[in-house]
Amino acid sequence: MMKNKKGQMKRLFFMIFSVGFCLFTTISFFIEFGPGRRIGQTFFTMAIRMLQILPPAFVLIGLFEVWIKNETMKNHLGEKAGFKGHLWAIILAGMIVGPLYVSFPVAYAIMQKGARIGVVFTYIGASAICRIPMAIFEASFLGLQFTAVRLAVSLPLVLITSIAFEKWCGHLEISGVPACSKQLLKIKGDGRHAKHW
């Protein structure tokens, strides 16, 4: 009961906040209040960019969840995979296009499919630093040496931290639940994901 009330409060707060923000930007647009106008413009362009990227990503993730078998995932990225799981994660991450916020839902999806937490961490880290299109772009502006040094240092460090992390809080993988929000867990109410939680 208490929790429900808290959620309602949160929702109310969010509604007030968002309505206030929209009012602020529209009013400042009409009275030509410089900073407010700029904030509104940035908000609008960023929102459009995100709406172009995120919905397709979510549909792809949904299809991935239906089409790929849990067994495949567990064999390649799960407990049995050993170090190979990390390599797979790096390869998968290298092929992603788009900013970091796309890789969180993907990471969540592979975690749900039975990838272990260290591999998920490698995936997020690697998708931040070694997306291939981005690396090529970077090398063309800052030189191959710069990119090579950056990758050569950061990739092993990402691997080391995620392996250490797995040792440190591997128990999160078994329960799974503390590692993600309750709001998202509601989705499993349709019973499809209930088994492997």
Binding interface with other proteins (CB under 8 A): 14, 18, 21, 35, 38-40, 42-43, 46-47, 49-50, 54-55, 58-59, 61-63, 65-67, 99-101, 104-105, 107-108, 121, 124-125, 128-129, 134, 137-138, 140-142, 145-146, 149-150, 153-154, 157-158, 161, 165, 169, 172, 178-181, 183-184, 186-187, 190, 192
Burial label for 17, CB within 10 Å (0-12, 13-18, 19+), is: exposed
The residue among 146 and 197 lying less far from other proteins, judged by its C-beta, is 146
Nearest-Å Rg of the Cα atoms of the chain is: 21
Dihedral of alpha carbons 26, 30, 35, 41, sign: positive
Tokens of 58: 């979510």
The residue among 192 and 196 lying less far from other proteins, judged by its C-beta, is 192
* Residue 30 beta carbon to other proteins: minimum distance, rounded to whole angstroms: 18
End-to-end CA distance of the chain: 24
* Residue 67 beta carbon to other proteins: minimum distance, rounded to whole angstroms: 6
Q: Which amino acid, residue 64? A: F
The residue among 49 and 80 lying less far from other proteins, judged by its C-beta, is 49
* Residue 134 beta carbon to other proteins: minimum distance, rounded to whole angstroms: 5
The residue among 26 and 140 lying less far from other proteins, judged by its C-beta, is 140
* Residue 114 beta carbon to other proteins: minimum distance, rounded to whole angstroms: 17
The residue among 94 and 105 lying less far from other proteins, judged by its C-beta, is 105
Q: What angle do CA 38, 39, 44 make, to 5 degrees?
A: 100
- Measured in degrees and rounded to the nearest 5, phi and psi for residue 23 equal -60, -45
Tokens of 84: 């190979």
Contact 118, 71 (CB under 8 A): no
